[in-house]
Amino acid sequence: MQTVARGAWLRDPWLYTALALAPTAWLLPAPGVSMALWRLGLLALAEEVVFRGLLQEWLRGRTVFLRSWGPLTLANLVASACFAAAHLLAQPPLWAAAVFFPSLIFGWIWDRHGRILPCVLVHFSYNLCFFHRF
């Protein structure tokens, strides 16, 4: 994880690029259900704490998981695979597999900034665009 000044993530143009990708969720078929905004936020927070703050960070503590391919670490790839697998509990396999790619973005943000808040904000914006079509 890079050592960056507190609040530096607010000045990261790549974070805003990740946020700008949220409307790509509209390319997927509509989920057929709507979720309250508070629930979308709570789910994003809980999932990011578990999969970034706990799992991905724990994996980063093991040397083998620090291996990287460009901006993607093995810790991110494994945490994202677990994230997708966990979605099998509530979603069909193709939907669960589809969350793997946004999860790589959330994991990249974690590797880059080591802060939960930017991960949660991007995750929430992706969920918002997916569940609430404008």
Closest to 9 measured CA to CA, from 120, 83, 104: 120
Per-residue pLDDT tens for 5-40? Answer: 677 777 787 888 888 888 888 777 677 777 899 999
Res 134: pLDDT:
66
Strand partners, 72: 69
Distance (Å, rounded) from C-alpha 91 to C-alpha 24? 19
Res 92: pLDDT:
86
Distances in whole angstroms, Cα of residue 42 to Cα of each of 11, 52, 116, 117: 25, 15, 13, 12
Per-residue pLDDT tens for 80-128? Answer: 999 999 999 988 898 889 899 999 999 999 999 999 999 999 999 999 9
Per-residue pLDDT tens for 59-78? Answer: 999 999 999 999 999 999 99
pLDDT higher than 60, residue 2 = no
Per-residue pLDDT tens for 38-61? Answer: 999 999 999 999 999 999 999 999
Joined together, the tokens standing for residue 118 give: 């930017």
Res 79: pLDDT:
98
Res 46: pLDDT:
98
